[in-house]
Chain A
Amino acid sequence: MSNKPVYDRTHHAKMATGIGDPQCFRGKAGPAKFKEGDRVRIKDLPDLFYTRTMTYTRGATGTVVKLVYESPAAEDEAFGNEDHPEWFYSIVFAQKELWPEYSDSFGNDTLETEIPERYLESA
């Protein structure tokens, strides 16, 4: 008889069945720290083991376009930790802000991406 610990591997499936993900986390992140139009800077948190906040956005300043959904950050969800959902924001950056060599001929180009709240600070 095995004495290995038994985990509930289906806890996430149970949460999301019939509702969907990230809908199953709706209302669980508490009040959002930022709102549409806020200027934010991306923190350069340690990028160890897993992250989906691209290095090239770090230290750059952008604008909140939209609060998109509540979800555990990738750093948590990738290891099966779903207890702390947070707000995700769609942030728009000027390409020139991200890539110093970006041509001035395309100075209006932008890039929009979703970033969890833990990476944002007011700019």
Chain B
Amino acid sequence: MSSSTREEVLRHIETVGYMQPALHKQTHAPSPDQIDHSLWRAYTRTSHDVGGEPDVPIVWTEKEEEVWELNTFATCECLAWRGVWTAEERRRKQNVDVGQTQYLGLPYYGRWLLTAARILVDKQFCTLTELVNKIDEVKKRAKSDQGLGEYLPAKTK
């Protein structure tokens, strides 16, 4: 039993390597008989489980957090303190529910911020209509050079 599981798992890890976001390809709707068990498992897997996936090396660079990133982190922690979500719910939404294209394609704190907005809509703390209207209002304010409100610089470490 174990060795067939190992074979499936290792084949699966190889299959998901083909499943990088394919911006160079037009999306196509496969017929059911084109999706076998291996492809089904690769498509429906949790996108954060990247251990062992074949990939090219990435360049590691050290970089200070930006103010909006620190503010995003603080916002998400406040949402936890107020009981809106647990860390595990947050991780599910920002690492898995976003899907592979967004998981690999958006900056780390971009996914945090997107998810903070998403949890408020999903748990009905605000409606999507209210959120969209707010974004629209802020965009217009930014465009009219009135500024976006008080700017709080990060404390020096």
Give the distance in Å from the alpha carbon of A106 to the alpha carbon of B148 in the complex: 55
Contacts of B46 in A (CB 8 A): 47, 49-51
Contact of A10 among B10, B12, B83 (CB under 8 A): B83
Given contacts A13-B81, A54-B49, A59-B2, contact A79 B8 (CB under 8 A): no
Most chain A CB within 10 A, of B13, B44, B46, is at B46
Could you tell me the distance in whole angstroms from the C-beta of B123 to the nearest C-beta in chain A? 7
Could you tell me the distance in whole angstroms from the C-beta of A48 to the nearest C-beta in chain B? 6
Interface size on A, residues (CB 8 A): 33
Given contacts A56-B13, A59-B6, A100-B10, contact A80 B52 (CB under 8 A): no
CB <8 Å contact, B83 and A11: yes
CB <8 Å contact, B9 and A80: no
Contacts of A74 in B (CB 8 A): 88, 92
Could you tell me the distance in whole angstroms from the C-beta of A119 to the nearest C-beta in chain B? 12
Contacts of A77 in B (CB 8 A): 86, 88-89
Any A CB within 8 A of the CB of B118 = no
Query: Which residue of A is nearest B3, CB measured?
Result: A59
CB <8 Å contact, A55 and B83: no
Query: Which residue of A is nearest B5, CB measured?
Result: A59
Most chain B CB within 10 A, of A48, A58, A59, A98, is at A59
Contacts of A79 in B (CB 8 A): 89, 92
Contacts of A7 in B (CB 8 A): 123
19 contacts between A and B (CB under 8 A): A4-B124, A7-B123, A8-B83, A10-B82, A10-B83, A48-B44, A49-B46, A49-B96, A51-B46, A55-B13, A55-B49, A58-B6, A77-B88, A77-B89, A78-B89, A80-B89, A98-B52, A100-B10, A123-B2
